[in-house]
């Protein structure tokens, strides 16, 4: 019996995905304007978010539903530690802090883990599938925009244990489709994925002030004026 959860998630989050990519910070990023100070704050937030998500996923590794998509090769905590070392130096742990939007995101991950662990699937899908889909595009933009040497500050985008990303995404989607869940549970997972996109948007919006300060309001307005379809959305649909 198929739950069709993969296609439900793809169709059910399409609008939220597009909205997230039309946040000014993301539009600027996709157009090659990346400012190091705001970017490293994003990396710090991601560190707390992925640490929480991976810790909670591990707690439920025997769970009849969550265990189906617990793929340790997706884990990002270690790669984010490498990037934080690059951006902040050896004492990075003393320097990074969680923003307000990042804190709300982490709290939500902890909350669903404690009360409705199957909703962790929505958080895994929203972040990891997006990372796999748009990762190389975003990595190349970051390298060029911040003048990085290849491999410096971009470990987050490297999935060393996944040799064929397209095949892995197919395997992940198949695992979603084979979930032993009813329609009501599937709908709750889609709702949670939409909420996760909203939490990501709030985090990106927090960084816009830094970005505007760095690049100037005129340039920011010219970069964000027109609505464009983001390239990572196209990639996720593959």
pLDDT tens sequence across 166-201: 999 999 999 999 999 999 999 999 999 999 999 999
Please tell me the distance from the alpha carbon of residue 148 to that of residue 159, in angstroms, as a whole number.
19
Please, are residues 88 and 40 in contact by the beta-carbon 8 Å criterion?
yes
160 three-class SS: coil
Of 56, 44, 185, 47, the closest CA to residue 111 belongs to 56
**Sorting pLDDT into bands at 50, 70 and 90, what band is 236?**
very low
Sorted by where each starts, the structural domains of the chain and their CATH numbers stand as 5-236 (1.20.910.10)
Contacts 24+ apart (CB under 8 A), 182-191: 185/65, 185/118, 186/3, 186/4, 186/5, 186/8, 187/8, 188/116, 188/118, 188/119, 189/5, 189/8, 189/9, 189/118, 189/119, 189/121, 189/122, 190/8, 190/9, 190/12, 190/13, 190/122, 191/122
Lowest mean pLDDT across 9-23, 25-39, 52-66, 224-238: 224-238
The tens digit of pLDDT for each residue in 51-75 reads 999 999 999 999 999 999 999 999 9
Reported as a single tens digit per residue, the pLDDT across 104-123 is 999 999 999 999 999 999 99
Confidence category of residue 1, pLDDT binned at 50, 70, 90: low
Taking residues 200-229, report their average pLDDT.
Answer: 87
Q: How confident is the model at residue 237 (pLDDT cuts 50, 70, 90)?
A: very low
Max CA distance (Å), the chain = 54
How buried is residue 132: exposed, middle or buried, by Cβ count under 10 Å (0-12/13-18/19+)? Answer: buried
Across the range 123-130, mean pLDDT stands at: 96
Per-residue three-class SS string for the chain: CCCCHHHHHHHHCHHHHHHHHCCHHHHHHHCCCCCHHHHHHHHHHHHHHHHHHHHHHHHCCCCCCHHHHCCHHHCCHHHHHHHHHHHHCCCHHHHCCCCHHHHHHHHHHHHHHHHCHHHHHHHHHHHHHHHHHHHHHHHHHHHHHCCCCCCCCCHHHCCCCCCCHHHHHHHHHHHHHCCCCCHHHHHHHHHHHHHHHHHHHHHHHHHHHHHHHHHCHHHHHHHHCCCCCCHHHHHHCC
């Amino acid at each position: 019996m198929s739950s069709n959860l993969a296609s439900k998630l793809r169709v059910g989050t399409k609008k939220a995905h597009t909205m997230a990519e039309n946040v000014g910070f993301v539009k600027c990023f996709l157009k090659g304007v990346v400012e190091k100070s705001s970017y490293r704050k994003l990396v710090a937030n991601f560190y707390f978010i992925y640490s929480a998500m991976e810790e909670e996923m591990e707690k439920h590794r025997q769970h009849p539903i969550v265990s189906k998509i617990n793929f340790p090769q997706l884990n990002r905590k270690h790669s984010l530690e490498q990037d934080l070392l690059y951006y902040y130096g050896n004492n990075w742990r003393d320097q990074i802090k969680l923003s307000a939007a990042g804190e709300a995101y982490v709290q939500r991950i902890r909350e669903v883990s404690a009360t409705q662990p199957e909703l962790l699937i929505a958080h895994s899908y929203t972040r990891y599938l997006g990372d796999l889909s748009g990762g190389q595009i975003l990595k190349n933009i970051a390298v060029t925009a911040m003048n990085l040497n290849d491999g410096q500050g971009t470990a987050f985008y490297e999935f060393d244990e996944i040799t064929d990303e397209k095949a892995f995404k197919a395997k992940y989607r198949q695992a979603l489709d084979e979930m032993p869940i009813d329609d009501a549970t599937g709908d709750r997972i889609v709702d949670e994925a939409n909420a996760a996109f909203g939490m990501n948007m709030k985090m990106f919006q927090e960084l816009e002030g830094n970005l505007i300060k760095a690049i100037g309001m005129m340039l920011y307005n010219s970069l964000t004026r027109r609505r464009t379809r983001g390239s990572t959305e196209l990639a996720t649909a593959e």
